[in-house]
Amino acid sequence: MNQTPIKTTRYQELYDRLRGHIGAGILAPGSQLPSFPELRAEGYGQATVERALQKLEADGLIQRTNGRGVFVAPGRGVLPHTGLVGLFGLRDEGGLHPYWSEILTGIQDAVGGAGYDLVLNHNVDEARWEKLEGAIAVGYAGLNWARKRPLTMPLAAVMASAQEVPCFHVAEFDAIREAVAHLAALGHRRIGYLVADPGAEERTQSYLAGLREAGIEPQDQWIRSFRNLPSPGPSFFANGANAVMQQWLQEDWFSSGLTALLVWNDDAAFGACRALRAAGLQVPADVSVVGFDGTPLAQLAEPTLTTLEIPLREMGQAVGCSLVSQMRGEDPIHGTTLYPATLSVGGSTSVPKLFQAG
């Protein structure tokens, strides 16, 4: 499934960062915020800084003192003990997919094992913050929602990256390079990439790096993207990839000579394979295909899908344990912990037909 980062404005970026630091205690009540010259050195303009400060001030988080600077306002007290943890970013349809259910199972193991109950929050505007002791964010959308929590409320995130919050994500750069290396080792020299858009920059760069490490000069026409939607349904990735793959096949797929295809995730790989078969191409005889996620669905495909397996349940347990430790008064470890993805070779990749014929 692999959600992608949501782009934010510069003032919102600065606001989120400062708010997160205040909420995490990095900027304690009474401490001074970075000065304008310090923020300007980081690339923030005066108007950007002022707008972020105005928003923080409206939230009651900072106080300005003429001639002295900007300071964090006094704290807001202690959260109630309700035994409830809010879960943000997991949609109804997403919860039915093995990708999300694996993460959710890991979270439940950690949180439930510590005596807490999970409360699914579909909309941040409906969140009953006064009933929650902590919050877990799933993906970037969930993290953006959960950042609106009361600042004393512990927060941890999975499938997202941030500096001010404990996060648990996948080492995507290394994983994509490994997938490209696998295809190159089989003899493929023309490897395409079908990627979700927006937010795919890191994976695209790792794909390009992998090609160059294999001595392959990338070409622009080897990359196609399909646009992500704000609220995709459970078949979005498969249907979106299928539609783009059909168009690619009608345009320059055959003239480009591509013999392998790396795909954004397993669902998208299934959709791409469907389009390839409809065009009379066989997987892997004509085109080798590699997915990303490693859910049980990859083993049910025909042929079984070569994919990058993510330790989804382990990551769910890690984010749950991080939150529980915070709720017990332990200091959080800020920043992102990366988990490796393991290449699982299935029946969807093989040597190119040219080698087979030889």
Q: Tell me, what amino acid is at 99?
A: Y
Contact criterion met (CB below 8 Å) for 263 and 269: yes
Q: How far is CA 159 from the centre of its chain?
A: 4
pLDDT given at position 178: 97
Query: Which pair of tokens denotes residue 259?
Result: 């013999």
pLDDT averaged per 10 residues, the chain (length 358)? 59 82 77 90 90 85 84 68 88 66 94 93 72 91 86 90 92 95 97 82 92 96 77 72 95 95 94 96 97 89 95 97 91 90 97 65
Kindly calculate the radius of gyration of the chain based on its CA atoms and give it in whole angstroms: 23
Q: Provide CB contacts within 8 A for 4, sequence distance 6+.
A: 140, 196, 198, 199, 200, 228
pLDDT given at position 277: 96
**Domains located in the chain, CATH noted:** 10-72 (1.10.10.10), 84-170+312-339 (3.40.50.2300), 172-310+343-357 (3.40.50.2300)
pLDDT given at position 103: 93
Pairing type for strands 62-65 and 84-88 reads: unpaired
- For the full predicted model, state whether its pTM sits above 0.85: no
